[in-house]
Amino acid sequence: MQQLIRTAFVTGGAQGLGRGFSKALLDRGIKVCFADVQASVGKSTETEFKSLYGDDKVMFCHCDVTSVNNLEDSFNAAVKKFGHVDLMVNNAGIGDESKLVQMISINLTAAIQGSQIALEHMRKDKGGRGGRIINVASTAGLIGVYFSPRYCASKFGLVGYHHSMASNPHAKEMGLQFGCLCPAFTDTAIINFDETKMDYYDEGLKFLEAIGINTVDAVVDGFMHFVDNDDINGDIVTVTAQRGFQVKNKHKRKAHL
């Protein structure tokens, strides 16, 4: 039986998917610290959540995940308030193709740094309580997308990190499990594209119209797979408008390459 999840840390939780994940966790009685670079949106989400769930259940940290010190301080503030973090969700992300350096820094580097901060805190072989680390990638981390190649590269990198960590034979003794969420287009601010944010803008929009757009609720349902099931290590959850959520796991088929 897995460790009960009592507390979570969610990056990019002020709005969109991160907000949806945080609310679903709070609905389950899990305490949530969410971090976001948008101070005023984060504060108003915190006020709303506190009125729904109570002051002791939720906290917001104003945090730019591209600063590892800022990320570590926010994570430590959650540990201080809740005693421990059982679930780390690296969700903060951007999709603007004109911002290559920022994109890699937020979507890939910060997610890896967030995972490593959580890992050091959680690992049972160093006195921690174990835990789960969920990285929010994209279907664009599984298939090539020619109109968003930089975004795609950042998400392929994150999926590669996920596979590497999940295949670590020492993960079990550390009490760690790694999951990766890969939604297709979803109805949040990140898909408010214009010509500056995407290559081949018209073709990109046509592709988006052809495959459809997930609701946030559908992606939250897929995300909760990582909370509701005991053995999730290595799982990749895809969420598409055509097929809903599906769980894939090549690590359960073969232990190593």
For residue 84, the minimal CB distance to ligand LSZI444Z (Å) is 31
- Name which of 22 and 91 has its Cβ closer to ligand LSZI444Z: 91
Q: Catalytic residue among 151, 161, 200, 201, which? A: 151
The minimum distance between CB 133 and ligand NAD, in angstroms, equals 15
Pick the binder of ligand LSZI444Z from 184, 216, 219, 239 (CB under 6 A): 184
Q: Which does 145 bind (CB under 5 to 8 A by kind): ligand LSZI444Z, ligand NAD, none?
A: ligand LSZI444Z
Site residues for ligand LSZI444Z, 232-251, by CB under 6 A, read 238, 240
191 interacts with ligand NAD by CB under 6 A:
yes
* Site map (CB under 6 A) of ligand LSZI444Z, residues 203-222, x = contact: --------x-----------
Instruction: Supply the DSSP string of the chain, one letter for each residue.
Output: -PPPP-EEEEET-SSHHHHHHHHHHHHTT-EEEEEES-HHHHHHHHHHHHHHH-GGGEEEEE--TTSHHHHHHHHHHHHHHHS---EEEE------TT-HHHHHIIIIIHHHHHHHHHHHHH-GGGT---EEEEEE--GGGTS--TTSHHHHHHHHHHHHHHHHHHT-TTHHHHTEEEEEEEE-SBSSGGG---TTTSTTHHHHHHHHHHH--B-HHHHHHHHHHHHH-S--TT-EEEEETTTEEEEE-STTT-S--
